[in-house]
Structure 1
Amino acid sequence: MGVKALGYVIVESAKMADWDHFMADVVGTMRGEGAPDGSAFYRVDSRPFRFWIRPGAEEKFIAAGYEVADAASLESLKAAVAAAGRPVEDGSAEEAAVRGVAAFFRTSDPAGNGLEFFHGDKRDDVAFVSPVGVEGFVTGDMGMGHAVFAAPNFNETHDFYRNVVGFRDTDIPRFHFSDDPADPGMGMAFMHADNGRHHSIAIGEMPQPPSGCIHLMLEMKTIADVGKCHDRMRAAKVPESATLGRHVNDQTFGFYMQTPGGFDLEIGCDPLVIDPESWVPTAHLQPSEWGHLWAWQKALEEQQGA
């Protein structure tokens, strides 16, 4: 038994008001109750929070929390992670209660990306009500979405997620962003958990960004809600990282925008749902079927046209 799904993320920030505006007024998540003093919970479903934003001196992605089946699975994974030479720290009962889990441990992958693994996830009967009218987010067995991290030591980090943690390969491409035949390209690994989401984690062969994360993804229920969120982004003057488009590998329709923490948030809908047991890994040659013009591409085009 491997990882069930992405359960929650933890972010530290000196821009708590900016995060509140972004999460509630732009993304449309619901403010949660019970966060420790000075921090904030944001929910997208029946879990008390999916985003925990807490005060810090700098903008930093702290951890992605992934769920495993039970206490025995958690102990087995902890032993495997420690045997692989990664640091392991048990969370206290008080820390577990704040997270809404039975137990968890902290660690990091070989590239230094922050991780938590837990079992015993909490749910409640509080109805999700978006402050801006989002119909809802797709979660359930597929978890809150996905996280994408940088891994300059790509092969080592890929091996960790596949052979130590238990994620399985979905799409293993090497993207080339120039016509230079000497361009080595950039390796990517899109990996699925024990659910139908195309990938619950992905890593890219690139330097670590200051934020500690490349992007997170949330799935909305309708194209209309994705479009309305795009309008809210523009109205709030949130930097657009990539225009509307559709990916090749997971078929998600959506866009990317920059969070107050410096990493991106992908908002999408209508993705491919896989059978995690029978899926045969692919290796697509390009990231997007159409659209997804990135901000750096726009800047380069403007520079070349000047």
Structure 2
Amino acid sequence: MGIRGLGYVVIETERPDEWDAYLTGIVGAMRGEGAPADARFYRIDDRCFRFWVQAGTSDRLVGAAYEVSDATELADLRAGIAAAGRPVRDGTAEEANARGVSGFFQTSDPAGNGLEFFHGNRAGDAPFVSPAGVTGFVTGDMGMGHAVFAAPNFDETHAFYERIGFRDTDVARYRFSDDPGDPGMGFTFMHADNGRHHSVALGDVPRPPSGCVHLMLEVKDQVDVGKCHDRMRQAKILQSASLGRHVNDQTFGFYMQTPSGFDLEIGCDPLVIDPATWVPTAHPRPSEWGHLWSWQLDPADQP
């Protein structure tokens, strides 16, 4: 039993028009067809959608949906999650059809972060074309990207993800000050059964109301990263972290705030691992260079 990768995300928002402008104009996603009446679909590749954005009374990530190979693996995973004491709700045939999947169920991790697991994928009706001119997003066998969640009950939540098939890629403790007494923040980066360095990561931090720390999308090259950074600045979107390169996954990119308060990382040129042979690493700092966070930036560095 293994997790193939991050398939799509479900977002609830009081700001659907802001999300529309953000995803199409800044990120470069394409509007999709066939969404339910209270939702909108957005594509970054040939899948019918990667972002499900539904109107609601809060702004949060409702769930990150991970793919498995087939119905048997989905049933085995469901049984294991239920045996671990987590609540499970099976999706109806109508809900599965709306998601473009053959079957799915909803659950949450021990920290309360929303999850879906599914099998089967439906392609969109038309080729993907970015309205912002992005040359392409890296998905396919690597999945949509990654999600980072807060897990104040860190050990319990980490054990849950290990139980369901994720494996450690990098186990880190980051310190953001020069104080020798700074305990730092624990993070675990975990891979699925593909070459992406991590498809989920956990931080030993309080869980935010937005239900997510950040999502990550990979574009094809540094030009796409740079042009997205320009669009962010021109639209006066809050920059959460400046351009930089990570130590552990080698991704070059930046972070910006979404209309729902969590961050979106746009990056390229990451390390690609062999999930079958990878030996977990432990890095003491997040970035080789750059990635000054919003509290470290001079106000003049913001749009």
After TM superposition, the score normalised by the length of structure 2 is 0.97
Query: Which residue pairs with 2:288 in the alignment?
Result: 289
For 1:266, the equivalent position in structure 2 comes to 265
**Paired AA for residue 29 in structure 2:** T
Q: What is the correspondence of 1:210-289 to structure 2 with a 5 Å cutoff?
A: 210-289=209-288
- The offset of 1:129, in angstroms, is 0.4
Unaligned runs of 5+ in 1: none
Query: 1:75 is aligned with what amino acid?
Result: A
TM superposition shift of 1:125: 5.7
Look up the SS of the partner of 1:3 in the other structure.
coil
Deviation at 1:301, TM superposition (A): 12
Q: Which amino acid aligns with 1:296?
A: W
Tell me, yes or no, if structure 1 residue 20 matches structure 2 residue 10.
Answer: no
For 1:179 and 1:271, the matched residues in 2 are separated by 28
C-alpha distance in 1 between matches for 2:179 and 2:290: 23
Structure 2 gap ranges (5+): none
TM superposition shift of 1:60: 1.4
CA deviation string 1:43-67 (max 9, x = no partner): 0001000000000011011000000
**Which amino acid is 1:68 matched to?**
V
Q: Which whole-Å CA distance do the structure 2 matches of 1:297 and 1:271 have between them?
A: 25
Q: Which residue matches 1:55?
A: 55
Alignment of 1:103-122 (within 5 A): 103-122=103-122
SS for the counterpart of 1:94 is helix
CA-to-aligned-CA distance 1:131-172 (integer Å, 9 cap, x gap): 111111000000100000000000000000012x11000000
Alpha-carbon separation, structure 2, partners of 1:299 and 1:156: 38
Match of 1:224, SS state, is: helix
Q: CA RMSD in A?
A: 1.4
> Partners of 1:100 and 1:81 in 2: how far apart?
23
**Cα distance in 1 for residues equivalent to 2:2 and 2:57:** 35
The letter of the residue matching 1:115 is L
Taking the aligned partners of 1:142 and 1:206, their CA distance within structure 2 comes to 27
Q: CA deviation at 1:180?
A: 2.5
Partner of 2:202: 203
In the alignment, which residue of structure 1 is the partner of 2:171?
172
SS state at 1:172 partner: strand
The alignment's TM-score, normalised by the length of structure 1, stands at 0.96
Cα shift at 1:297: 1.7
Separation of aligned partners in 1, 2:184 and 2:290:
20
User: Are the counterparts in 1 of residues 49 and 124 from structure 2 also a CA contact under 8 Å?
Assistant: no
Tell me the residue number matched to 1:155.
155
How many pairs does the alignment contain? Answer: 301
User: 3-state SS of the aligned residue for 1:78?
Assistant: helix
Identity of counterpart residues, as a percentage? 68
Provide the residue aligned with 1:88 in structure 2.
88
Higher deviation after alignment, 107-116 or 127-136: 127-136
Cα 1:185/1:252, change in 2 over 3 Å: same
User: How far did residue 189 of structure 1 move?
Assistant: 0.5
- Secondary structure of 1:173 counterpart: strand
1:186 aligns with 2:188: no
In structure 1, C-alpha distance between the alignment counterparts of 2:162 and 2:299, rounded to whole Å: 36
In structure 2, what is the Cα distance between the partners aligned to 1:136 and 1:173?
A: 31
Shift of 1:124: 4.0
Could you tell me which amino acid in structure 2 is paired with residue 213 of structure 1?
A: C
